[in-house]
Amino acid sequence: MKYIVLIILLLSSNLADAQNNKFDNLYEFTYSELKNKFYDYYDYNKTSDAKQIATYYLQKAKKEKNTLEIAEGYILVHFYEEYPTALKYLDSLTIITKNIKGNLYPARTYLTKGNLYYKQDNLKAALDNYILGLKYAKEQHDEKQTAYANMNIAYINSYIGKNTEAAKTFRYYLYNGNKITDDYQHNQMRIALISCYLEINKLDSANILIKEGQKAIFTGKNKYDPDLYSYLAGTYDLKLKAYDTAIIKLSNAYTYFANNNENINANYALYNLGKAYQGIKNEEKVIESYIKLDSNVQKYNITFPDLREVYTYLIDYYKANNNQQKQLYYIDRFLIVDKKLDEQIQYLSTELPKKYDTPNLLQEKEDIIEKLEIRKKVLYISVGVLLLILLFIIYLYYKSKKTEKEQRKIAQDLISLVEKRNIEEGNTDEKKEANDIEIIHLAIPEQSEQNDKTSKVISEEVTQFILQELRIFESRELFLNKGVTLASLAKNIKTNTAYLSEIINTHKGKNFASYLNDLRIDFALNRLVKDKKFRSYKLSVIAEELGYNNEQAFSLAFKKKTGTTLSMYIKEIDNLNDSQNNHN
């Protein structure tokens, strides 16, 4: 589980007392006291107050030309700036600390940048900066910053599903971080460990820590905690299938997160709310939660792996409800999110073991040897993967060429059949009766025993009357009208839908939908050959001319019926005409 509660680099130990007169006497405070006041407001989500402290801090440092404190001021002010501005502050931090001696920088710069990238869902850049921060922290023997790097990398491990590994880190610093973490950070370790336990179904351990955290709220500082623990408790109830209590807790948590722009946690609350509503089979609420979740994902462009389940559910729901427009929409959304997740998770899954796990394991004698072996394996695997990808691309290429060739052949055969039929029909009045002929390459079924049974049910007089009306329907090309249904046609020819359906099934050898579709496709095949202007129309216009509601429905119907695509059919007609013109 991914929480935006990353370990903030608090390198001061004593907290200043809150002052009644907040800002009139800021000049009386030292840098250390100002910093502690800032984090005090930050912990309570007092954004405006914290921002004023940060701004004053930076102004004071610049006025006094105190390089180290200017650097600290850049870190403080970046917390409340939009991403591009925040990144500029941290770039300034890199420049100004370049020549500062000591063990604080550049490790702190990289770790702070990593947190900023993490919040923007750029986990690739976040990981790269954490790794650099860890490298310099180790070189400088800085125990605190080494710990902060390990903790934040553990969040990334949790994000990609390696919750067992992440839990080891969080558990270690929860119970062995007295000299490293303050109360706020200690609480974040507890929250992170609860999240991992819930993911790996260590529910008893999770519940113990949830109760411990809820008890500590009354003596803690952060007003954010009650709602976050409400979320964790709701997730715990969800795991126990106590759906009703889970919904109450998760709803309360979501309301808080949404109102306080805690977008990531709000999205997780929506996801688990959807799961809880699935548990009580309230499909309407599931869809409501997931649609809202998708809207948030689009707005903030922040994703997490469980989103795949969300889009799969939405796709299946609208498919079951025959809403193709929504179905296609969420297929597109799934593909966009899935691509981003694939790129991100693939990178993290590859780089985490290579840049973090392996170096941690290989600090003994075999370090160099084992690294070389791993590089060889990576090289062989890379070459193998590249070969497989190349073979797969070649396979797809030849498959597409084969498919194109088959579709071209089908299109050519269709054109020949249409032209042959037109020649046979000539310019006689039979041209209007051409629609009685079934679509190319389909034979009219012979009279069967079923026909005999039908004729006993429907009188011969009624049968002939309906067949005559169908001939009129076909010859006048009324099937091109939009919105033609079995019911509307039955009404027009003054019969009932049961008779009409039965006669179409018996005498045309197909149901009404297929009958209507065949007439339209047959008409399209013929007109496209004859009418150059018609071929130049946009697909949407052709579809509308043929009575289809949208171009997708027409394209699918054309491909299904003929075995080739409309574009290929038109292309072959044009090729044939060009060839004939050249001969002439």
pLDDT digits 0-9 by tens, 256-304: 988 888 888 899 999 999 999 999 999 999 999 999 999 999 988 888 8
Length of the chain: 584
Domain end residue (candidates: 45, 75, 101):
101
Kindly tell me if the per-residue pLDDT of 439 is higher than 80. Answer: no
Token pair for residue 192? 């992170």
From 358, 376, 356, 355, select the one nearest 367 (Cα to Cα): 358
Q: What residues contact residue 82 under an 8 Å CB cut-off, 6+ apart?
A: none
Instruction: Tell me whether residue 306 is in a domain.
Output: no
Say if 85 falls within a structural domain.
Answer: yes
The one-letter code for the residue type at 448 is: S
* Confidence (pLDDT) at 368: 58
- Which range, of 146-150, 478-482, 580-584, averages the lowest pLDDT? 580-584
Percent of the chain with pLDDT over 90: 34
pLDDT band at 100 (very low <50, low <70, confident <90, very high): confident
Tens digits of residue pLDDT in 343-385: 888 888 888 888 877 777 665 445 556 667 777 788 888 888 8
Please write the tens of the pLDDT for every residue from 218-240.
655 455 578 888 999 999 999 99
pLDDT at residue 361 in the model: 64
pLDDT (tens digit per residue) in 303-321: 889 999 999 999 999 999 9
With cut-offs at 50, 70 and 90, classify the pLDDT of residue 335: very high
Q: Do 294 and 309 form a contact (C-beta atoms < 8 A)?
A: no
Q: Which residues contact 76 (CB under 8 A, 6 or more apart)?
A: 35, 38, 53, 54, 57, 58
With a cut of 80, say whether residue 43 has pLDDT above it: no
According to the model, what pLDDT value does residue 39 have?
A: 80
286, 313 contact by CB (below 8 A)? yes
> Taking a C-beta distance cutoff of 8 angstroms, is the pair 54, 81 a contact?
no
Question: What secondary structure letter does DSSP report for 8?
Answer: -
CA contacts within 13 A on the Cβ side of 559: 12
CA angle, residues 443, 440, 398, in degrees to nearest 5: 115
pLDDT at 259: 87
- pLDDT band at residue 405, thresholds of 50, 70 and 90? confident
Q: How far apart are CA 381 and CA 39, in angstroms?
A: 47
Out of 81, 101, 121, pick the residue that ends a domain. 101
Residue 329 domain-assigned (yes or no): no
Burial class (CB in 10 A: 0-12, 13-18, 19+), 368: exposed
For the chain, what percent of residues have pLDDT higher than 70?
86
Question: H helices of 426-531, where?
Answer: 449-457, 460-475, 486-492, 497-503, 512-530
Span 153-170, average pLDDT: 91
> What span, in angstroms and rounded, lies between the C-alpha atoms of 477 and 458?
26
Distances (CA, A) of 46 to 34, 79, 221, 584: 15, 12, 12, 84
Q: Where are the alpha helices (DSSP H) in 44-142?
A: 47-64, 67-78, 83-96, 107-119, 123-139
Quote the radius of gyration of the chain (alpha carbons, Å).
35
- Using DSSP, state whether 426 is helix, strand or coil: coil
Average pLDDT value for the chain: 83
- Across 181-185, average pLDDT: 79
Give a yes or no: residue 37 inside a domain.
Answer: yes
Number of domains in the chain: 2
Residue 380 located in a structural domain: no
Residues 269 and 276: their CA atoms lie apart, in Å, by 10
User: Looking at the domain assignment, is residue 522 inside a domain?
Assistant: yes
Give the ranges where 353-496 is alpha helix by DSSP (H).
358-361, 367-425, 449-457, 460-475, 486-492
| pLDDT greater at residue 435 or residue 553 | 553
**Within 10 A of 436 (CB to CB), how many other CB atoms are there?**
15
Statement: residue 455 has pLDDT above 70: no
Write down the pLDDT at residue 6.
52
Report the C-alpha gap between 142 and 160 in whole angstroms.
28
Residue where the block lists tokens 């006497």: 25
Tokens of residue 267, six digits: 């999205």
- Rounded to two decimals, the pTM is 0.56
Coil vs helix vs strand at 557: helix
Contact 414, 558 (CB under 8 A): no
In the structure encoding, which two tokens stand for residue 422, read together?
A: 């037109």
DSSP assignment of 313-366, as one string? HHHHHHHHTT-HHHHHHHHHHHHHHHHHHHHHHHHHHHHHIIIIIHHHH--STT
Residue range 527-547: mean pLDDT, rounded: 88
Chain centre distance of CA 536: 37
Q: Name the residue type at position 191.
A: I
**Angle between helix 512-530 and helix 551-562 axes, rounded to 10 deg:** 90
Residue-number span of the structural domain to which 78 is assigned: 28-101
Does the pLDDT of residue 544 top 70, yes or no? yes
* Cα distance between residue 280 and residue 110, in whole Å: 46
Q: Which is higher by pLDDT, 514 or 226?
A: 514
- Token look-up 């389940």 returns 309
CATH of the domain at 519: 1.10.10.60
Higher model confidence: residue 201 or residue 369? Answer: 201
CA pair distance 113, 109, nearest whole angstrom:
6
Is residue 327, in this structure, part of any structural domain at all?
Answer: no
Higher pLDDT residue, 576 or 327? 327
Cα–Cα–Cα angle for 27, 33, 35, rounded to 5 degrees:
100
Q: What is the pLDDT of residue 500?
A: 92
User: Cβ neighbours of residue 346 under 8 Å, at least 6 residues apart?
Assistant: none
Average pLDDT for 156-173: 91
| pLDDT at 13 (0 to 100) | 31
Asked whether residue 374 is assigned to any structural domain, the reply reads: no
With residue 144 as reference, give the H or E element that holds it.
Answer: helix 143-159
Q: Is the model's pLDDT at 171 over the cut of 90? A: yes
Contacts of 452-456 with C-beta under 8 Å, sequence gap 24+, read: 454/502, 454/503, 454/506
CA 189/CA 183 separation, integer angstroms:
10
Q: Give SS3 for 394.
A: helix
Give the end of a domain, one of 101, 120, 139: 101
pLDDT score of 434: 41
* Coil/strand/helix, residue 223: coil
